[in-house]
Structure 1
């Protein structure tokens, strides 16, 4: 009898473990309270700009970006933009969207990220099929490299055409912003003051191209690494500096071992925080 009871308890315990839900993500607001996807979409649809932060190698976040884009397009006219495309590739991106070149040609003439086919092509193709404008917002990486080596002053050497692919000079910069301070500290001082400046010129350029391509009654949905907009800094800071009346919603992503309980240190990181399991598969 005792053996039977132990056996039944073991079966019950085992069934309990394996019947537990294994959610791929949980969604929280800035205060750490659980919110629904539906509520997030509803709030996003009422704003001017959404900065959808991501971890570049996380498949769940890329899927959520696509679903969010699709669902927001049913509620608002959209303009899309992304860190993953550099401003001097705008013509090539426009040609692909207009059907003037095919994917093979686009791969040849534009500097596409290695994970473009799986993670960003669906967004670009959605824009193409729905006739939605897609803006290449990032600074060409060679100019960010110039800042890392020689500070903002190095940008003065650029031609007028090259300067059209970056934020207007001089670059506004607040070295006391916690994100830039933290970046410098994490690197142990390696890179000096120019390391956060190289980050800032990316943030400034993305903010600039969001502002200059925004249109009244359209929602600008922007995809970027979450560190470019976390804690309402980075791109968000430059947007507010350029137009303080903009309504902006930010999204961030964090990894936790237990996604069902929000870690307090992640509060106020963004308006909506996607919490994913630390064991989630990476795309690269």
Structure 2
């Protein structure tokens, strides 16, 4: 097959369609220090507090928090931001990429107090870092009596698409097909270019992406990525018709550069007001150069790069 065994079979089917879609680093479970992150407001060109960021959510329908899944500083910022939002007068709906759509009934039963946490975790396929990183969010919402949405595409469907393309959805049982978005678009646009760059390790731009367009394996893996994004957009779209703020946590790649989930939500809800937070890891936080990152999001959460090795 060559080309390093076809880029190690497109990075093992891109961890089956970029299962988390954020860099995995040598993270730690230690609690973050209060100074372990900074927030940069891109439009205001200044650093802001979590309280100010929360104030800026007035009139906003959806806030997408793009994370690196094992960045403890980011998880700390998420928890603190949700606590600030919870102290206000507006209801918040928490959306989580970390739960797949088919476990929504288990999640609802737990939030209503109809099942215990042990049963919920047994049946809902939580991520390995759920207890340390996402449980605090779910528990805060549960205490408030608010809702949590399981938004992600079930892994079995993602695997089927990564191996067989969109046509794989035609052969799954009807009930299983309902767990994926009903409307799917997967153009070879800027998102495709960035996807190819991510998979191939940063090979240059549109020309390289154009060369990869004829690679059926790369195309199928990208289709699985698109279906994940379409599914998450479909899952949260109804919230735009109500008063609560959607606070959605997802891998940063899903929303960086306002791509992925964002245009797919706006296709369903053109009048929605959306804001995006992107995670940026840097060697230092004192006076960083943010020039290359300012088109990623409305707000940047700046954290320290993990140590090498």
Match of 1:110 among 124, 142, 159: 124
Query: Contact 1:254/1:275 (CA < 8 Å) preserved in 2?
Result: yes
- Please tell me whether residue 254 in structure 1 is matched to residue 268 in structure 2: no
* Aligned-residue offset at 1:268: 1.5
- C-alpha change, 1:33 and 1:23, in structure 2 (3 Å) is same
* Aligned-residue offset at 1:218: 1.3
Q: How does 1:100-179 map to 2 (within 5 A)?
A: 100-169=114-183, 171-176=184-189, 178-179=190-191
Query: Contact 1:79/1:214 (CA < 8 Å) preserved in 2?
Result: no
Q: Comparing 22-31 with 84-93, which one deviates more in the overlay? A: 22-31
Question: C-alpha offsets along residues 100-145 of structure 1, whole Å, 9 cap, x if unaligned?
Answer: 2212111211111000010011111111111101110001011111
* Aligned-residue offset at 1:215: 4.1
Q: Which residue of 2 aligns with 1:55?
A: 68
Q: Comparing 120-129 with 228-237, which one deviates more in the overlay? A: 120-129
Using the alignment, how far apart are the partners of 2:147 and 2:38 within structure 1?
30
Match of 2:230 among 184, 199, 204: 204
Residue aligned with 1:137, SS: strand
- Please tell me whether residue 77 in structure 1 is matched to residue 91 in structure 2: yes
Using the alignment, how far apart are the partners of 1:71 and 1:185 within structure 2?
36
* Structure 1 runs of 4+ with >6 Å offset: none
* Structure 1: gaps of 5 or more residues: 1-20
Q: State how many pairs are aligned.
A: 259
Q: Which residue of 2 aligns with 1:243?
A: 269
* Structure 1 length-normalised TM: 0.85
- Please tell me whether residue 68 in structure 1 is matched to residue 81 in structure 2: yes
- C-alpha change, 1:186 and 1:273, in structure 2 (3 Å) is closer
Query: Contact 2:93/2:146 (CA < 8 Å) preserved in 1?
Result: yes
Using the alignment, how far apart are the partners of 1:161 and 1:56 within structure 2?
30
Using the alignment, how far apart are the partners of 1:114 and 1:47 within structure 2?
32
Residue aligned with 2:179, SS: coil
Match of 1:194 among 220, 223, 238: 220
* Aligned-residue offset at 1:280: 7.1
Question: C-alpha offsets along residues 243-277 of structure 1, whole Å, 9 cap, x if unaligned?
Answer: 11100010011111122223211112100001111
Query: Contact 1:48/1:219 (CA < 8 Å) preserved in 2?
Result: yes
Using the alignment, how far apart are the partners of 1:250 and 1:121 within structure 2?
22
Q: Which residue of 2 aligns with 1:43?
A: 56
Using the alignment, how far apart are the partners of 1:77 and 1:186 within structure 2?
36
